[in-house]
Amino acid sequence: MTQNFERPLTILILYSVFCFSLETLPNLSADTRLFLKYSEIVVVVIFTCEYFIRILLSPKRLRFIFSFYGLVDLIAILPFYLAFAIDLRSFRLIRLLRLIRVLKVARYNSALQRFSKALFLAKEELAIFTGLSLILLYLSAVGIYHFEHVAQPEVFKSIFDSLWWSVATLTTVGYGDIYPITIGGRFFTFIILMIGLGLVAVPTGIVASALSAVRRQSE
Amino acid sequence: MTQNFERPLTILILYSVFCFSLETLPNLSADTRLFLKYSEIVVVVIFTCEYFIRILLSPKRLRFIFSFYGLVDLIAILPFYLAFAIDLRSFRLIRLLRLIRVLKVARYNSALQRFSKALFLAKEELAIFTGLSLILLYLSAVGIYHFEHVAQPEVFKSIFDSLWWSVATLTTVGYGDIYPITIGGRFFTFIILMIGLGLVAVPTGIVASALSAVRRQSE
Amino acid sequence: MTQNFERPLTILILYSVFCFSLETLPNLSADTRLFLKYSEIVVVVIFTCEYFIRILLSPKRLRFIFSFYGLVDLIAILPFYLAFAIDLRSFRLIRLLRLIRVLKVARYNSALQRFSKALFLAKEELAIFTGLSLILLYLSAVGIYHFEHVAQPEVFKSIFDSLWWSVATLTTVGYGDIYPITIGGRFFTFIILMIGLGLVAVPTGIVASALSAVRRQSE
Amino acid sequence: MTQNFERPLTILILYSVFCFSLETLPNLSADTRLFLKYSEIVVVVIFTCEYFIRILLSPKRLRFIFSFYGLVDLIAILPFYLAFAIDLRSFRLIRLLRLIRVLKVARYNSALQRFSKALFLAKEELAIFTGLSLILLYLSAVGIYHFEHVAQPEVFKSIFDSLWWSVATLTTVGYGDIYPITIGGRFFTFIILMIGLGLVAVPTGIVASALSAVRRQSE
């Protein structure tokens, strides 16, 4: 029976997430604000009903309440009721938790487990990769700081600003707000990127071989 | 016999696509415009002939007309004739459908089927990946909005503007029109990118292992 | 015997390439220019000697002259001598051919063959991927032109300018000289990038599985 | 026994690295500077003790001193003591070596060896890839110089500036400080990127198949 309610509830979650986004738009009319407010109340009421129905229908009620999805369901509706009691300033941030509802969409999906199994199989290598990446990020920040601090003291102010450059560069995002201009800094960037892109290639390979292993096991 | 006409027809398709691009150039001379117009008429006439020859040559005529390629052939020539009857404003947009002709180039290619078979094999995992990516995109937009809205109210106006930042950042395009400047926002960007790049690595692995499986099956 | 000369000749090639780069520097002193000129003469003389020694030492002389490396060796020295005879304007561009020398460095490397074998094995899939990428590039250019032309007529002037946007965006380079500002254009960019990044993931998987196949064959 | 001290020592290393970053912040108060100075002294004293305890506890003392980790331990504390004797200018740069301490964190990790074994297995292919990438980088710099030098003499000044463009473009970072504006240059960029992204896909595949081979061997 709960199966039939999954789809409309998923749409309701996506609808409430969309309303949450709309509320952040500047210059909204009073009518729209009112509509969004009532919309929110209706959504929370439905989710509250759903929460209590789930408790009533589950064979082991206490176990459901303290299970992961039970707690997610509770946290998804609690902020609305607490908003009347506690300070309104923190209201918006608490509401973020409502997004955890979206996770429920994939609740019954078995393929997600296969993926998490592959991640578990490769967790040691992924930890090393993450560690090496962090070290490379830090070393490249220190390096670029020494190359560029004199030439651009206002851009590469400290190692923390250089770290921001490292993140934007090694992920190849490259916003263009901070980049080297000296020959040394540019050559250093080249070396760091050659190493960094190689490092990015490794986890791709790790995940690929882990997924093949999981698939072979299940066959 | 139809085999011999594939190559010149493909060239004709590419030629008409090139003409379509030329028409968008500003400051075209009246002569060029006229040439492009007549060029278009010739192309449509040839494609119309081709369409009727295909119908005549196919053993089951009705089946061809309602097959995928039969409909594509029809849609590729229809806009030209409809342009005389209906409103001229929507003229340009209808013409876009003509580009579907390009798809016909790969019509007889068997390797495309192997690729689509691999996609079918991995469709469940790819759906999950797409879902997770969308959730991450939205969550990162909400997060950066809360970090940067106060510091840059004109850049991170609403969650919709933040979503644009999410797209440009997590795909590592990084145009540089919108980026975080606060320490919190930059650190958040770093965390999001570490997760996001990992998420991108997964479908690569999925497609790789699916393609290996398809190749092993066909051997 | 020729084996012993490979290393110094490689260094000489790299040296001449470096000199070629130096010549493009603006504000070079007359002394440096003279040094680079004499340096070039010495390099060409050595390569000319090498070319004739290779001809003399090879058992089948005519076959060497018309082999790939024989022709590369000739083309690498010819521009220098032709520069005296023909127009000096085209001098610089002809010199570019000298860079083909660098290819000689990997001449004896057997691993390069394994790599080219993998590319040959996957050539059908790579051709399809290239075709699909080109179609996607063009379709995204047409799409963004219709979304952004009205809002930014000076940036998205024609489909050719939009194609430049497509290249910079789908390769995730994102220089930031051209980007969408309308909601429609941004949403279209998001859709195109989701498809485009998936398309990029495929050849990675193809090459990976082809390399595995080549390695398994050689074991 | 040494096992129990690994965790606090790792935290101490990360703490000293964090202090090193803090020192580069501009406008630090005198108090903070003093605290960081004393903090540094305490850290070095602890690491000095650790170094001598390690020597005393190791069965073959001379062998430990001249082992890789023995030398890293020494280099990590030496700069502090040498800073009193030699010129203070080079002080900051010598300190960078202290970061090698971070490598000690992963000392006992066996998975790192599996990764380095995969790199060793694929070292020939990775060398070729690196070589091909460098050649492509240089050729693309020469090409873009000839396309863009006339149109943008101040941006594409020499081949060295063009090389910076090549690095930023082929790694898809794309800061946006230097990009082509001519039709020829943009088309050239497109061709180079199609080849370049293919080249990047290869090492990913190489590492993936090498990692699979290593995993199969260890099973």
Measured CA to CA, the distance from residue C108 to residue C7 in angstroms comes to 12
Q: Please say whether the beta carbons of C206 and D207 come within 8 A.
A: no
How many cross-chain Cβ pairs, B to C, lie less than 8 Å apart? 103
Q: CA-nearest residue of chain C to D165?
A: C175
Mean pLDDT of D90-110: 51
> What DSSP state is assigned to residue C109?
-
- D179 vs C: CB within 8 A: yes
Residue type for position A178: I
Scan for tokens 């192997």, then name that residue. B114
CA distance D207 to chain B (A): 12
Name the residue among D176, D193, D209 with its Cβ closest to that of C215: D209
Residues across chain D = 219
Q: Does A212 lie at the interface with B, CB-CB under 8 angstroms?
A: yes
Residue pLDDT, tens place only, B96-137: 555 555 555 554 456 667 777 877 877 777 777 787 788 888
Report residue D48's pLDDT band, with 50, 70 and 90 as the boundaries: confident
Chain C neighbors of A173, CB-CB under 8 A: 174
Calpha distance D67→D76 (Å, rounded): 14
Query: Which pLDDT score, from 0 to 100, does residue C185 have?
Result: 93
- What is the percent of chain B with per-residue pLDDT over 90, rounded to a whole number? 12
C-beta separation of D81 from D94 below 8 A: no
Residue C49 identity (one-letter amino acid): C
Considering only CA atoms, give the Rg of chain B. Answer: 24
> CB of C93 within 8 Å of any CB in chain D?
yes
| pTM of the shown model | 0.84
Which 8-state DSSP code applies to residue D25? -
Higher pLDDT: B25 or B110? It is: B25
Own/partner pairs for A1-4, CB < 8 Å, 24+ apart?
Answer: A1/A57, A2/A54, A2/A57
Any CB–CB contact under 8 A between B204 and chain D?
A: yes
Q: Which of B172-186, C85-99, C123-137, D108-122 has the lowest mean pLDDT?
A: C85-99
The answer to whether residue C156 scores a pLDDT higher than 60 is: yes
Residue among B146, B160, B190 whose CB faces A93 most closely: B146
* Residue given tokens 């393609």 in the structure block: B211
Distance CA A131, CA D11 (A): 14
Closest by Cα among A103, A101, A83 to A93: A83
Looking at every residue in chain D, the average pLDDT score rounds to 78
Residues on chain B touching D178 (C-beta within 8 angstroms): none
Using alpha carbons only, give the angle D116, D217, C218 rounded to the nearest 5 degrees.
95
Task: Band the pLDDT of D210: cuts 50, 70, 90.
Answer: confident
| CB of D208 less than 8 A from some CB of B | yes
Q: Which of A188, A120, A182 is nearest to A155 (CA)?
A: A182
CB–CB of B218/B130 below 8 Å?
Answer: no
CB contact (8 A) between residue C176 and residue A176: yes
B183-211 average pLDDT score: 82
Q: What is the pLDDT of residues C5-60, one digit of tens each?
A: 666 777 777 787 788 788 878 888 889 888 888 888 888 888 888 888 888 888 88
Instruction: Show which subunits contact A, needing at least 3 CB pairs below 8 angstroms.
Output: B, C, D
Rounded to a whole number of angstroms, the distance between the first and last alpha carbons of chain A is 32
Gap between the Cα atoms of C200 and D94, Å rounded: 43
Which residues neighbour B100 within 8 Å (Cβ) at sequence distance 6 or greater? B72, B75, B76
Q: Look at residue D164 and tell me whether its pLDDT is greater than 90.
A: yes
Task: Return the sign of the alpha-carbon dihedral for residues C60, C62, C67, C72.
Answer: positive
Compute the distance between CA of residue B153 and CA of residue A26 in angstroms, rounded to an integer. 10
Residues B51-78, mean pLDDT to the nearest whole number:
81
CA distance B54 to chain C (A): 25
How many angstroms separate the CA atoms of D76 and D65, rounded?
13
- What is the distance, to the nearest Å, from the Cα of residue A78 to the centroid of all Cα atoms in its chain? 21
The reported pLDDT for the residue numbered C66 is 85
Residue B177: which of B195, B142, B197, B152 has the closest Cα? Answer: B152
Measure Cα distances from D111 to A127, A128, C34, C185, D210 in Å. 10, 8, 56, 46, 15
Instruction: Specify whether the CB–CB gap between B102 and B9 falls below 8 A.
Output: no
Residue B44: closest CA among B16, B77, B11, B17 = B77
Q: How confident is the model at residue B159 (pLDDT cuts 50, 70, 90)?
A: confident
Chain D residue numbers touching C127 (CB-CB < 8 A): none
Chain C contact for A172, CB < 8 A? yes
The tokens for A132 are 């090496």
Instruction: Give me the pLDDT at residue C112, please.
Output: 67
CATH superfamily of B2-108: Voltage-gated potassium channels. Chain C (1.20.120.350)
Residue B12: C-alpha distances to residues A40, A116, C143, D32 (Å): 56, 50, 22, 74
Stretch(es) of chain A classified as CATH 1.20.120.350: 2-108
pLDDT: is D202 or A66 the higher one? A66
C134's tokens:
């080109």
Most confident range (mean pLDDT) of A110-114, B149-153, C66-70 is B149-153
Chain B residues close to A176, C-beta within 8 Å: 174, 176
Chain A positions in Cβ-Cβ contact with residue D133 (cut-off 8 Å): 194
Task: Collapse the DSSP code of D177 into the 3-class scheme (helix H, G, I; strand E, B; otherwise coil) and give the result.
Answer: coil
| pLDDT top residue among C77 and B53 | B53
CB D73 within 8 A of CB D47: yes
Q: Which residue has the higher pLDDT, A210 or B155?
A: B155
**How far apart, in Å, are the Cα atoms of D114 and each of A124, A125, B165, D118?**
11, 9, 38, 6
Report, as ranges of residue numbers, the positions in chain A whose pLDDT lies below 70.
Answer: 1-7, 83-112, 218-219
Task: Write the burial class of residue C145 (CB in 10 Å: 0-12 exposed, 13-18 middle, 19+ buried).
Answer: buried
> Does D116 score more than 80 pLDDT?
no
How many Å apart are CA B5 and CA B50, to the nearest integer?
9
What residues does CATH 1.10.287.70 cover in chain B? Answer: 117-218
Fold of A117-218: Helix Hairpins (1.10.287)
Question: What is the gyration radius of the CA atoms in chain C, in angstroms?
Answer: 24
Choice between B64 and C166, residue whose per-residue pLDDT is larger: C166
Residue where the block lists tokens 């689509």: B116
Q: Tell me how far apart the alpha carbons of residues D106 and A130 are, in angstroms, rounded to a whole number.
A: 12
For C116, counting Cβ atoms within 10 Å of its Cβ (0-12 exposed, 13-18 middle, 19+ buried), the class is exposed
B160 in A contact zone (CB under 8 Å):
yes
Contact A165, D26 (CB under 8 A): no
In the Cβ-directed half-sphere of B60, how many Cα atoms lie within 13 Å?
Answer: 4
